[in-house]
Amino acid sequence: MPELPEVEALRDFLVGSLVGHEVVRVLPVAISVLKTYDPPVSAFEGREVTGVRRHGKFLDIEADGGELHLVTHLARAGWLQWRDRLPDGPPKPGGKSPLALRVALETGDGFDLTEAGTQKRLAVYVVRDPAEVPGIARLGPDPLADEFDVTRFAGLLAGERRQLKGALRDQSLIAGIGNAYSDEILHAAKMSPFKLASSLKPEETRHLHEALRATLTEAVERSRGLAAGRLKAEKKSGLRVHGRTGEPCPVCGDTVREVSFSDSSLQYCPTCQTGGKPLADRRLSRLLK
């Protein structure tokens, strides 16, 4: 799933590729991708792109100085594929094609939104104000914003009875962090994913805040300037524990372990994060003694 660093890199790439150009066609291929109907998606056609913004994991393409916005959330299996030359003729709907929506510019280039797999969760909204998108309206603060200091972070965690893994992934608490980077942040902070957020001491909160900012900032810098097609590989290559079950921890050499959920999993290093003790299966909700 694209998270804050990849979406920020896509935003940066699209600023250079879209701003100043006219959108001549917006072609939905999978009708289910459209989550709004007023204004119609065709209202975006004939308009000049004047900005590209990020809200958490949402991409916001702004037209005519903010009069209209095409907003997308790539969900778990969605992606944006830039094409220097779009194929002639409209795309064919149906079949096994992952293509969900195509945006064409006056230059003949543009991008496709695609989604792999059978669970179709990629979403596109055409709105006059991005706050009309329910997911954006619910977002918590951006963790890379200047005002997201340790005091603000401590206030968010105060009284939070969930475990750190779940708290970091909650978009209404903090915007943009998903499964992969929550694992990476907790590994960098040397904290158990099962530790209660409200149990952190002031020094632990400061340390976690530093790990969060550093992990996301470094990931954004690694991705900056890359073409859209290279971002997935860059994300995977930069991860230390997430998706690396059975491999040695790059910090201490212990074996990276996994806890499985019904539809996802987390990875961690026992030596770095849990005092050498393996975590029980998440379904048991307890740490092995």
pTM as predicted: 0.91
Q: Are 209 and 179 in contact (CB under 8 A)?
A: no
Q: How confident is the model at residue 95 (pLDDT cuts 50, 70, 90)?
A: low
| Phi and psi angles of residue 205, each rounded to the nearest 5 degrees, phi first | -65, -45
Residue 285 has pLDDT above 70, yes or no: no
Instruction: Specify the pLDDT at position 287.
Output: 42
pLDDT of 211 > 50? The answer is: yes
Do 4-132 and 150-286 agree at the fold level? no
pLDDT (tens digit per residue) in 227-279: 777 887 888 889 999 999 999 999 999 999 999 987 789 999 999 999 999 99
State the average pLDDT for the chain.
92
CATH number for the domain formed by residue range(s) 4-132:
3.20.190.10
CATH 1.10.580.10 applies to domain 150-286:
no
What is the pLDDT, as a whole number, of residue 126? 97
pLDDT of 283 > 70? The answer is no
Q: What are phi and psi of 156, to 5 degrees?
A: -70, -35
Q: How confident is the model at residue 167 (pLDDT cuts 50, 70, 90)?
A: very high
For 28-61, write each residue's pLDDT tens digit. Answer: 998 889 999 999 999 999 999 999 999 999 999 9
The residues facing 49 across adjacent strands are 63
Flag whether pLDDT at 94 surpasses 70: no
Q: Give me the residue spans of the domains in the chain.
A: 4-132, 150-286
